[in-house]
Structure formats: C-alpha cells, structure tokens
Amino acid sequence: MQQLEPGQTLDGFVIDAPLRAGGMADLYHVHGADEAHRADFPLLLKRARLKTDEGGENLVGFETEKQILAALHGPHVPRFVAAGDIVRPYLVMELIPGETLQQWLDRKPPRDAREIARLGALVADALHALHQQGACHLDLKPANVMIRASGDGAVLLDFGLSWHAQMPDMLAEEQRTAVGSYAWIAPEQIVGVRGDPRSDIFALGVILYEMCSGELPFGNPQTAGGLRQRFWMQPRPPRLHDARIPPWLQEIILACLQPQAEHRYASAALLAFDLTNPEQVKITERGRATHGAGLGAQFRHWMQRDPYRPSALPTQISPPPIVMVAVPHRDVTEAVLEALRQAVKRSLGNRPGARLSCVTVIAPSGSAGAVDDELSIHQTMREYLRAWLAKINIGEHIATCHVLEASDVAHALLTYAAGNHANIMILGAATHGLQLQRFVATVPIKVAMRAPCTVMLVKA
C-alpha cells in the first residue's frame, strides 16, 4: 500500500503531513476538504496497513478500533470523526496535542516519585472512565498513553486490540495466541482471557515500574516460555534499581503486578486513589523490600508453583469501590455521629471490598505565616476522624482519613467525590425543617443536587 502524500485527498480529508508509522497503521495530520468534513479541533487520519506480509490481524484490529472508538466518549479518548470501509480502511479522529509516556521515558527526566505518581493517577483515571463504559484497553503501554499538553489529563490511544462488553470480540474469534504487547500484557491474557479490567491495571503497573527504574519488570520476552514466566516470577523490587523510590510507590507497583487478578487493585479508581494519597498507603514488607529473590528462591518458587488458573472475571466492569462519609466537627451531636457510623456499617456490609474515605472540611487559615499552626490543625482533625472511625467495626475494609480546607463546604465535598470516583456519599441531613430549606440551600441539599454519585442523607 502506497504512502499518502501531502495534498492528496481521501474521502473528503486532505493530507497535510505524515506523522509516523505505527505498529499496524500509518498516521497523518489531515484537515477537512469542505464544510462537511471540517472539525473545530485538529484531525488525525490512521490508515491500516494491508501488506501481504503483515497478516490479517491488522484488518481485524482496524474493524475492532472502528467499532469501539465510535462507541466511546469523554476526555480520555480521541473524538471519533469518520471511518473508511474494508476496502479503504482508515479512521479519522481527534489529534491530541501532548507527549506520550514513551516520549517521557525517552527523554529520561529525573525519577521524581510524586511526578510519576501524578502521571500514573492520570492514566488510572482514564482507565476508570474506559472501564465504566464497558471496555478494556488490553494493549496499554507507554506509546499508547498521551498526556495532554496542559498536563492535566491522560488520553488512551489505539483500541485495535481492545474489548467491549456490548460488541463481538473479533480478535478472540480470529486469534489462537496471546494478543497484545508482550512486555505489558497480564498473565490472564497469555492464556486467552479477555475482558478483565484488572489486566489494564497489570499493564499500568509495568509502566510505573519502567518509569521508576528504567527497566521492564519481566523483560521483553518473545517466546511462549518467556511470557509464561510472569505466572510465577517475582520482579525485582523497584527500590533495588533506585533506593530513592519511596516504599509507598513500590507497594502500589508490586500490588499491580500480582499474577492473580484478584490480588491486584479491584479497580482503576482504587489505584488512582492510592497514587493521589500516598500518605494513606498501607506499607507491607513488599513495599519495604530492597533485595530481590535470589536464583535459588526463584527456582524453588518455580518448582513449587501451582498450575496457573485465571481469576474469575469481576461481576461488573470496574466495581464501584469507594464509600465516602462527610464527618462534621462543629455543631454536631453524638447522636448524629452515631447515625453516620451506622450508615457506614450498612454501606460497607453491602459492598464487599469497598474502601471507606472519611472526610471533614475545615475553614481556610486566615494567616499566611502560620504554617506550623495549620499543620497542627490538620493533624488534630485527622485524629478526630480516627477517633470517630475507631468506634466502627469495619472488618477487613480499608479506611482513610482526609481533611479538606475550604470556605465552601459543599463545593469541597463535591470536588473530592468527583476526583476520587466515590460511589456513594454519606452525610448528615439538615437539622432544620423543610420550610426553611426552601429559602436557604443547606450543604446537604447543595450536595444532593449536584453530586456525581449516590447520596445518603442521615438523620439522628
């Protein structure tokens, strides 16, 4: 198939310049030739390769991406514009300005843990949005993640190997071997399991490992035997490559890289939460380790390994795992605090594996120089939340405590809930009557009207 030249027109789109040759397609910067084909954002044309030596998977991948990209929406995927047919397979979509994570790795920036966690959280947010729409990427790697030029969002690229719950899985029907980029795919993908969102969490763990250490945790195997090593092999701790990597980040990465999917993060939202709140990460021996397993230990692990069995698929895409409770600290009675505790117990009991996020809002400090006083206030309020929480038996659920500083309590709660993908928010109902609430919008009413999740109002 000949390369397209600048000035050529393809179905109403004019070629401006070639961008690069991708794994299964060639990419071009284009613009609409007429009003019917123009858009108010830059356009990218992606044309599938159909050379005789490149196999039929390119065409299957094109048809897969054509279907899935057209069904997706939101800021974490390129906007779909147009597509060709099987004779002239191409896609026109939004061209995202920014830098891929592969470009980030290639320029070798300083390995700053907070920046790595920030970028990882952006990708986890994008995965959560994808999983909520019933899709799994299944080919997540640094070249397929674009960080917007503004630096405040990640966009997922290349859905040719992806899966969607509402669409036929043509790749599963056509392929008999592992599908994906071998350095990043999860163990279950090697044995043909598709449609588990936790596979994308494994891939993000590989990306974070490489961002921290400059190396891939399982190398870049090209054989079936090399691929299957990740069923049992323990990757070397990232802190062995760079002692400056904090234990909390190592804990997160190695949790993502667990062979069995049920031992990883239950959802991308939970992963994003930990990357955004590192002080709340529970650090185990896994996070503190600075020495990898020796050859003898790895050999014994291989000898004692059980046959690999893929984990059961989750009952729904990206189960909603975060329960948020707003705990007041002023003008509140013990009866209201106890009612909130009972509501939390009921909510956690109905949501196995849910995480509890306890939040309180304090007024902003009026003094610019009282840093020590401000830290003391935050610490005091965290202790207040822990004391409130200590009276609830939450079993094996994980709970974290957060102090927000804002003059607008409702806005602070809404922003926190949206940013952390809360599934349900519990807060105390207003104590005065409905007649007054018709004239004065209380915090609970403001939250209930605009919340991005279910709201439970609790009265004593």
| Ordered domains of the chain (ranges, CATH) | 9-94 (3.30.200.20), 98-303 (1.10.510.10), 322-458 (3.40.50.620)
Instruction: Examine the pLDDT at 189 and tell me if it is beyond 70.
Output: yes
CA–CA gap between residue 201 and residue 138 (Å, rounded)? 10
* Mean pLDDT of all residues in 82-91: 89
- Using pLDDT thresholds of 50, 70 and 90, give the confidence band for residue 174: low
CA–CA gap between residue 80 and residue 93 (Å, rounded)? 5
pLDDT per position as a tens digit, 113-146: 999 999 999 999 999 999 999 999 999 999 999 9
Average pLDDT of the chain is 87
Which residues have C-beta within 8 Å of that of residue 364, sequence separation ≥ 6? Answer: 405, 406, 407
* Mean pLDDT of all residues in 182-192: 91
Instruction: Examine the pLDDT at 440 and tell me if it is beyond 50.
Output: no
Percent of the chain with pLDDT over 90: 60
pLDDT at 159: 95
Range in 174-183, 210-219, 354-363, 383-392 with the lowest mean pLDDT: 174-183
pLDDT at 25: 85
pLDDT at 436: 44
Torsions phi, psi for 339 (to 5 deg) = -65, -35
pLDDT at 433: 47
User: 180-200 in b/e burial notation, b at 16+ Cβ within 10 A?
Assistant: bbbbbbbbbbbeebbbbbbbb
User: Measured in Å, how far apart are the chain's first and last C-alpha atoms?
Assistant: 72
pLDDT at 192: 87
pLDDT per position as a tens digit, 337-350: 999 999 999 988 87
pLDDT at 368: 52
204 or 322, greater pLDDT: 204
pLDDT at 176: 53
pLDDT at 437: 45
* Mean pLDDT of all residues in 60-71: 92
pLDDT at 224: 80
pLDDT at 317: 53
pLDDT at 99: 96
